Amino acid sequence: MRNSNALRTFVCALLALMAVLVAPTVAGASSGQLSLIQDDAEMFGERSGEDPAAAMREMKDLGVDVLRTNVLFYRVYTRINDRVKPAGFDTSDPSEPLYNWSATDRIVSLARANGIKLLFTVSGPGPHWASEQPSRCRFNRICTWKPKPAEFGAFTAAVAKRYRGQVDWYALYNEPNLYTWITPEITRTKFGRVETGGVYYRKLWSAGYKAIRSYDPSRRGRVLFGEVAAISAPLPMLYASLCLGPDGKPFRGRLRSLHGCGGRPAKLNIGGWAIHPYNQGGFGPPSRRTSSKVALPQQYLPRLHRLMGQAAARGRVPGGRGIYITEFGYQTNPPDPGSTISPTRQGQYINESDRLFAGDRRIKTVAQYQLVDVRDPLQYNSGLRFAGGQKKPSYEAYRLPIVVTRRSARTVEVYGQVRPARQARRMGQFQKPELQFRRGGSFRTVARPSPNSVGIFRLNQSRAGAANGSWRIKWQNPLTGGVSYSRVAKAGQPLRYYRD
- Left, alpha or beta for 224 (phi > 0: left; psi -120 to 50: alpha)? beta
**Helices of type H across 163-233:** 196-215
Say if residue 297 is in the same domain as residue 323: yes
> Does the residue 300 lie in any domain?
yes
Q: What is the pTM of this model?
A: 0.93
Angle at 494 between CA 489 and CA 500, to 5 degrees: 140
**Chosen domain end from 383, 399, 415:** 399
Q: Closest by alpha carbon to 473, among 396, 410, 385?
A: 396
Domain boundary among 399, 419, 449: 399
* Residue 278 shares a structural domain with residue 412: no
Predicted local distance difference test score (pLDDT) of residue 1: 40
Query: What pLDDT does 30 receive?
Result: 54
Over the chain (500 residues), the average pLDDT of each successive run of 10 is 42 39 44 95 81 96 98 96 96 98 97 97 97 93 96 98 98 97 97 97 98 98 98 97 96 96 94 97 94 97 98 97 98 96 98 97 98 92 95 98 97 98 93 96 97 96 96 96 97 95
Query: Are 168 and 204 within one domain?
Result: yes
Strand locations in 253-319 (E) = 272-276
Q: 350, 373, 399 — which closes off a domain?
A: 399
Residue 287's SS3 state is coil
Question: What residue numbers bound the domain in which 430 lies?
Answer: 401-492
Q: Quick one: pLDDT at residue 378?
A: 87
- Calpha distance 281→464 (Å, rounded): 40
Q: Which of 314, 286, 324, 318 has the alpha carbon at shortest distance from 121?
A: 324
- Given a contact cutoff of 8 angstroms between Cβ atoms, the answer to whether 411 and 21 are in contact is yes
What's the CATH number where 430 sits?
Answer: 2.60.40
Structurally, how many domains does the chain consist of?
Answer: 2
**Residue 140 maps to which CATH number?**
3.20.20.80
Q: DSSP of 439-489, one letter per residue?
A: SSS--EEEE-----TTSEEEEEEE-TTTTTSEEEEEEEETTTTEEEE---B
User: Do residues 269 and 413 both lie within one domain?
Assistant: no
Q: Is the separation of the CB atoms in 271 and 319 below 8 Å?
A: no
The DSSP secondary structure of 215-233, one letter per residue, reads: HSGGGTT-EEEEEEESSS-
Residues in contact with 11: Cβ distance below 8 Å, sequence separation at least 6, in sequence order: none
Q: Which secondary structure element, helix H or strand E, spans residue 436, and what is its range?
A: strand 434-438
Which residue, among 210, 432, 225, has the nearest Cα to 311 in the 3D structure?
225
Q: How many CA atoms are closer than 13 Å to the CA of 309, on its beta-carbon side?
A: 8
Q: Which of 70, 122, 133, 45 is nearest to 91 (CA)?
A: 122
